[in-house]
Amino acid sequence: MKYFDYKYRVRYGDTDKMGISYYANYFVWFEAARTEYFRALGLPYTECEKKGFYLPVSETSARYHAPSTYDDLLIIRTSVGEMTRTSLRFEYQVLREDGKSILTSGFSRHVVVDSKMKPCRIPDAIKNAVTLFSLLKA
């Protein structure tokens, strides 16, 4: 499978009164994993912004299968599940550190826009890097 693994240790402040990871934190972890995915491609998101294109979220979802708790080491597995002319859909799995137990699965769709927030084609740099990464990891 074509994916990037980002590791994160659950902090005490990430948990709620029940002692489990607060549900909204998963979206923060998705973002962190996505940012590191781009960095691994050699395209830090800051460079994308300097070139005048942005990737706002247009849709997102998460399904919670099992909880994580304080001090758990998590793997946020990230891949591009779909690439259209103007958008990318990232797929996520949050796993325990052994990589076997799926705690959460989800996705986020991002539309590529220019500095005026108008949808535009995915820049060749992104398209080529994602395609090459997918081929190398296959």
Domains present along the chain, CATH in parentheses: 4-137 (3.10.129.10)
**pTM greater than 0.85 (yes/no):** yes
Q: What is the pLDDT of residues 2-31, one digit of tens each?
A: 899 999 999 999 999 999 999 999 999 999
Residue 116 CB: number of other CB atoms within 10 A?
7
Pairing of strands 73-83, 87-96: antiparallel
End-to-end CA, the chain: 6
C-alpha dihedral sign at 107, 94, 7, 71: positive
